[in-house]
Copies of this chain bind each other. A is one copy, B any other.
Amino acid sequence: MVQLTFGARMRLSPFHAQAMRAGLSHASVYNHMVLPVAYGDALAEYWRLINDCALWDVGVERQVEIVGPDAFALVQRLCSRDLTKLAVGKGKYVALCDHDGTLINDPVLLKLADDRFWLSIADSDILFWARAVAGERGYDVQVFEPDVSPLAVQGPKAEDVVASLFGEDIRALKSFWFTETHLDGIPLVLARSGWSKQGGFELYLTDGSHGDALWQNMMEAGRPFNIGPGAPNAIERIESGLLSYGSDTDDATNPFEVRLDRFVSLDTPADYIGKAALQRIAENGPARLQVGLVLDTAPAAATDRKWPISQDGETVGYASSIVHSPRLERSIGIGLVRTDLTEPGTRVVIDSPDGPIPASVADLPFL
């Protein structure tokens, strides 16, 4: 057991004090910030997400704000998806690639105005990436990290919680759309989004000084709906086949390998970094593909570390996360394997530190 040292280098979200008070037991680090992982009862937290609703401190999901006359030009240059039809008030899941077509982040892009965007990023320094491109191309934009920290409420009852606070009209908000609003003077952007398939909302707090108040308001409103603390859930995200950038990817992963084909625009005039490389990869086909894995036996310890996958003694990929699924009552995982091994039922071996574990390839998502 290793204790996490909260150094000055590591920033805390506006919800951190409340997370500690709620009994935070496990944490990780994400975008140089403390990311809550568990509150002492991982299984209860899983079922809370599946059956009721959970409140997640996802303040680590930093925003890269891009504003100014060339804001759209820069955003389009960064994203491998044609953004010409994106409406104000809507978000889009996008892939960011480098010049070789390698995935470097998979944010949600929010269009706040024609000349103002947020990239709501996964765990890599896209602030610097965007600034480098803007600076070297001489774009007339400002690129900065605003005081914005998302708090997520996820689960089948999340909508009830949000409706009880923001009114019944919020039920009509479509997936990935957002609205600028406030709660007892707390300014926020309310979006129907979140990193689970159980439904829910993200409340982008736009003034960090209200972190305690927003958390407490949500917990209070959620009480009739069995709300409790939780965090982005490793089990549910694998069951649901959600991509975890950095976990499921490496320094050579392109979007086609990890099922992001439909977020890559190859045949539109939109020009962006990596387009030529992605066109070449699409033409030749990717070298690996992401699959589900169903293990014959459970590993000695459930793990979300990367383990090699082999077939007939030859390494053919790796499993990026293995968990026990309470709903499937099986050990399952996500892997990146050679493209000829993606047929469901294909037999492979996962080389765990405690010995080989036979497994079958499966379609994603599991549920």
A interface list, Cβ under 8 A from B: 1-10, 20, 24-30, 32, 34, 37-38, 98-99, 104, 123-126, 128-129, 131-137, 144-145, 234, 244-248, 251, 273, 304-306, 320-321
Complex contact B145–A8 (CB within 8 A): no
A37, A131, A144, A273 pick with most chain B CB within 10 angstroms: A131
Q: Say whether, besides A98-B131, A128-B129, A244 and B144 are in contact (CB < 8 Å).
A: no
Q: How far is the CA of A137 from the CA of B99 in the complex (A)?
A: 11
Q: Say whether, besides A125-B124, A125-B128, A25 and B2 are in contact (CB < 8 Å).
A: yes
A20 CB to closest chain B CB (Å) equals 8
Q: How far is the CA of A234 from the CA of B37 in the complex (A)?
A: 26
Interface residue from B2, B131, B306 paired with A99 (Cβ < 8 Å): B131
Q: In chain B, what residue has the closest Cβ to A4?
A: B4
Residues of B with C-beta under 8 A to A9: 28, 30, 123, 244-247
Complex contact A7–B304 (CB within 8 A): yes
Residues of B with C-beta under 8 A to A27: 2-5
Q: In chain B, what residue has the closest Cβ to A322?
A: B8
**A-B residue pairs, 8 tightest by C-beta:** A99-B135, A132-B132, A29-B29, A125-B125, A9-B246, A8-B247, A4-B4, A136-B136
List 14 contacting pairs A-B, 8 Å CB cutoff, sorted by A.
A2-B6, A2-B34, A4-B4, A4-B26, A8-B244, A9-B247, A10-B28, A28-B29, A32-B123, A98-B128, A99-B131, A125-B125, A135-B273, A145-B251
Q: In chain B, what residue has the closest Cβ to A252?
A: B144
Interface residue from B8, B28, B104, B136 paired with A128 (Cβ < 8 Å): B104
Interface residue from B2, B38, B306 paired with A8 (Cβ < 8 Å): B306
Complex contact A5–B37 (CB within 8 A): yes
- Further pairs besides A1-B3, A144-B251: 20, Cβ < 8 Å: A2-B26, A2-B27, A3-B27, A4-B27, A5-B27, A5-B37, A6-B305, A7-B234, A8-B246, A8-B321, A32-B246, A104-B128, A124-B128, A125-B125, A125-B128, A125-B129, A128-B129, A129-B132, A133-B136, A136-B273
